Copies of this chain bind each other. A is one copy, B any other.
Amino acid sequence: MEERCENCIVRKFNALRAMSKDELKAVSDSKVSRKIKKGEVIFEEGEKLNGVYCVRGGVSKLAKLSPNGKDQIVKLATKGEVLGQRSVVAEENSNLSATAVSDMEMCFIPKEAIVSTLHKNPDFTYEVLRHMAHDLREADDVIVNMSQKTVKERIAEALLYMMNNFGEDQEGYLALVLSREDIANVVGTATESCIRILSEFKKQGLIKTSGKRMAILEARKLQDLADGF
């Protein structure tokens, strides 16, 4: 039997924590749990979303296809984050696609349960608003990084971001394993350029690799690099 939202720790991290008991009960009754395999698509760009996805475990990439045919990863979402919130709120089709980067567990919550609470519970609405304000600030930061930093600086930053937000395993390797192509799509560069710079970092002893796993050896130096020194 599936866990109920009332007992789900994940909700502490997102706006659902501002729901009343009754509202949460309604959400829990209407939600559907899903397991999603690495590589599987959760929703496509342009798709109409009939609800949001609350991530219980695993990591997904939110990407947008650029006119030249390349995917730009706009955000990596993990435990506690809610996907599709923006589209449901704006009543627009999704502007992003979501794909699992690792095996995932998530709950689909039909939009009715969300929208009705948005209309009735200002605390919840405010909480969603605060999360979106946070996302917007991050997006502003990304814009500046994209336009003003070199590819090398952005890759250094992406590595540190992965370390700080997804952690490391016992051996010191980044817990989040991304393909070179995904990393390239995060920083907005060609896969080859990304590989080249990672090789350079490796030669300089800033990182080490084992298969596609990567470990950061000199976080401080990478930080300096990311900051343009």
Interface residues of A (CB under 8 A from B): 64, 66-68, 70, 72, 74, 86, 89-90, 92, 95-96, 118-123, 125-126, 128-130, 132-137, 139-149, 187-189, 227-228
Contacts and interface: CB of A to CB of B under 8 A. Distances in A.
Decide if the interface of chain A is mainly helix, strand, loop or mixed.
helix
Contacts of A188: 146-148
Contact of A122 (B92, B121, B140, B228): B121
B95 A130 contact: no
Q: Which residue, of A89, A130, A143, has the highest number of chain B Cβ atoms within 10 A?
A: A143
A186 to B, nearest CB: 9
Given A118-B129, A125-B125, A132-B133, 12 more contacts: A64-B143, A67-B149, A74-B143, A74-B144, A86-B137, A89-B133, A90-B133, A92-B137, A95-B141, A122-B122, A125-B126, A146-B147
Contacts of A119: 122-123, 126
A189 B146 CA distance: 11
A64 B120 contact: no
B135 A125 contact: no
Contacts of A68: 148-149, 228
A200 B110 CA distance: 52
A30 B72 CA distance: 44
B129 A64 contact: no
A64 B139 contact: no
Contact of A95 (B86, B96, B137): B137
29 contacts: A64-B141, A66-B144, A67-B148, A67-B149, A68-B228, A72-B144, A72-B148, A74-B143, A86-B133, A86-B137, A89-B133, A90-B130, A90-B133, A92-B137, A95-B137, A95-B140, A96-B140, A118-B122, A119-B123, A120-B122, A121-B122, A132-B132, A132-B133, A132-B136, A139-B139, A139-B143, A143-B146, A147-B187, A147-B189
